[in-house]
Amino acid sequence: MSSAPPVAGGAGDAPKRATTDYIHSDIFVRLVEDKDDLPGLVAYGLYQQRKRQWISFYEDQNGQLPDPRAREDYANGHRDDAIQALREEAEGSLARFADEVMSQQTERMEINALNGRMLEELDSLKKRVGKISGYRHHIVGHVFGFIVLVFITLAATVAITHEPTLREFVQWIFGKLS
């Protein structure tokens, strides 16, 4: 199809026929601007749904499927305002879909951010615990314990050597302090 979409007259006028003969109708060309026109493609899908509903209604009312002339009349009945309404409905549907997807993605991103933050805090805590309970801490603890043990042993040795009884030793210590 090399021709441009038909241009309709004033608002509410039936669309003028394009120079190209269409197999079905010119609705697709009027709705879809190019191959990347997603709202136009969705609008055409909405048109097709409504056309199928109309065909079912027509068959229920007339006991037969509509003939080609009736189908052509149905397509020609879509004036510019009906085409615009289909595009606006399609754009609204796409906007609601995008909003829903963004809501779901936002929730997922919040969970991922929270998990990332929690992993950072756990890593930080692990490093702090590693510093407290690491190899160096054990060495310092053992050396300090050894020094305390040597001091207690030295104090007991001095006490036993210089004082015959523990009671006199305690009196001697408190007598020196006062």
pLDDT tens per residue across span 79-92: 889 999 999 999 99
pLDDT at 172: 74
Same domain, 139 and 126: no
Same domain, 128 and 139: no
Of 101, 118, 133, the residue that ends a domain is 133
Same domain, 91 and 102: yes
Same domain, 58 and 86: yes
Specify whether the CB–CB gap between 54 and 48 falls below 8 A.
no
Same domain, 85 and 157: no
Same domain, 18 and 70: yes
Specify whether the CB–CB gap between 18 and 5 falls below 8 A.
yes
Mean pLDDT value of segment 88-114: 89
**What is the domain range of residue 126?**
1-133
pLDDT tens per residue across span 119-169: 888 888 888 776 666 666 777 788 889 999 999 998 878 777 766 676 776
Q: How confident is the model at residue 112 (pLDDT cuts 50, 70, 90)?
A: confident
pLDDT at 140: 79
More confident residue, 103 or 96: 96
How far from each other are the two terminal CA atoms of the chain, in whole angstroms?
Answer: 115
Same domain, 41 and 75: yes
Same domain, 153 and 71: no
pLDDT at 66: 92
- As a whole number of angstroms, the distance between CA 177 and CA 25 comes to 114
Same domain, 66 and 141: no
Same domain, 78 and 153: no
Mean pLDDT value of segment 92-105: 90
Domain count, the chain: 2
Same domain, 160 and 106: no
Specify whether the CB–CB gap between 26 and 5 falls below 8 A.
yes
Mean pLDDT value of segment 56-82: 90
Mean pLDDT value of segment 68-77: 87
Same domain, 89 and 152: no
Give me the chain's average pLDDT, please.
Answer: 80
pLDDT at 9: 35
